[in-house]
Amino acid sequence: MSDQQNFTTHQYDVVIVGAGLAGCAAARLYAENGLKVALLERRPHIKDYKKSCTHYIQASALPTMQRLGLAERIEEAGGLRNSIDTWTQWGWIRHEVDARYPKYGYSIRREVLDPIMRELAVETEGVDLLLGHSVKALQRNAERITGVVAQNGRSNVVFEAKLVIGADGYQSTVAKLADTAVKERDNNRFIYWAYYKNVPASGKTAQMWLVDPDVVYHFPSDNGITLLAVIITKDKLAAFKENIVENFESLIAQMPDAPRFDVGERITDVMGMINYPNFERQTWMPGLALIGDAAVTSDPIWGVGCGWAMQSAEWLVDCTSEALLAGQDLNRPLKQYHRKHSFIRTHNSVIADYSSGRMLNGLEALYFKAGTLDRRMARLSHNLGSRHINPLELFYPTNLIRAMWVTFKHRKKPMEQHQLNFRPMSVTVQK
């Protein structure tokens, strides 16, 4: 953009674009370390929120939520401490707690969570939340990014900073303007979901049915509201859309130990998302870093986005705050963040591969079956699903040997043959 000398210019230590979970977490933590932060958000209202989300925050993010002061606010707002049972064709993998790791995450709707996060950011001294600001350009000095040009109504404002952070989601404007390297992988499943009130689960936890290669959810959330969802390969899309509501409820009702529609009430439309590709972007370049979905956007099946948003923000803050305060070069701290972020990218490579719509491979099937038969294997499954451990631990000899021994010992146990069938059923659901 030209004639920037006519624009209003503001100086900050850090400029964060996007006031979602990642952006607000980074803003609060940077400000608590004594840095001055501009938090830019294109949406105009502090209570705006992300509409599509599983609302399941994995247990691996609990320490970050506690550090932010968020965990207490979530519980005050009616959020649930979560855990999950997973049905497979070999039976249920029941939730098993490993004492080495946090025991629970939280389930809370983004309609409730996002305003809480913004309030936490706003009340932190050193954070300026600037709503209604859309980024239109990046400022550069040679190869380094030095700020952003934002538009607020008809006014253009320049925000200069030592570090610019893209926290603006999977369609990140910042990443596109910076022309960061990106890997995109198609997701060959579509998702439909709806919210219900007072629909009890058959067990004590959230439920996930892995009807390979399809998935069904029952995720209780805050204040008696439950998210129900189906995630199905796209070859079934045409048949599903012939009668979306009846097919949606029919598929869920077919699940073993299915939730009870007859005592509940559907309180929203059945909503859908057909295309949700996987993105993995370059996490940094001189003067710039990406966090949350701007860095990695994963298949929603596994409910990792919320936790990774906050965790990646925390990692970036911890890697760069000291250098920012001292006015030092940021390249080395940003490389350190990139190395830390490799934990997410390793998980995402596995997630993106399964999002092709394929069936479970041999190794995955081995561990899912072992998890239904053995408590230690169930703990391993929980640790992986909660993103406490690196997926490479599945190749550790001790884990492989136990999984093979358990499945051999129970080799005669029959599989439960189960597939999703589009058979509309008579289900009592109020609207």
Domain locations along the chain: 4-55+109-185+277-351, 362-409
Does the domain made of 4-55+109-185+277-351 have the CATH classification 3.50.50.60?
yes
pLDDT at 411: 80
The pLDDT score that the predictor gives to residue 160 is 98
Please give the chain's pLDDT, 431 residues, in tens: 444 456 789 999 999 999 999 999 999 999 999 999 999 999 999 999 998 888 999 999 999 999 999 999 999 999 999 999 999 999 999 999 899 999 999 999 999 999 999 999 999 999 999 999 999 999 999 889 999 999 998 889 999 999 999 999 999 999 999 999 999 999 999 999 999 998 876 666 899 999 999 999 999 999 999 999 999 999 999 999 999 999 999 999 999 988 887 788 999 999 999 999 999 999 999 999 999 999 999 999 999 999 999 999 999 999 999 999 999 999 999 999 999 999 999 999 999 999 999 999 999 999 999 999 999 999 999 999 999 999 999 999 999 999 999 999 988 776 666 666 765 433 333 33
pLDDT at residue number 419: 65
pLDDT at 431: 31
pLDDT at 422: 63
Predicted confidence at residue 203, as pLDDT, reads 63
Q: What pLDDT does residue 359 have?
A: 94
- pTM of the predicted structure, to 2 decimals: 0.94
The pLDDT of residue 417 is: 63
Cα–Cα distances (Å) from 426 to 162, 387, 417, in that order, read 60, 39, 23
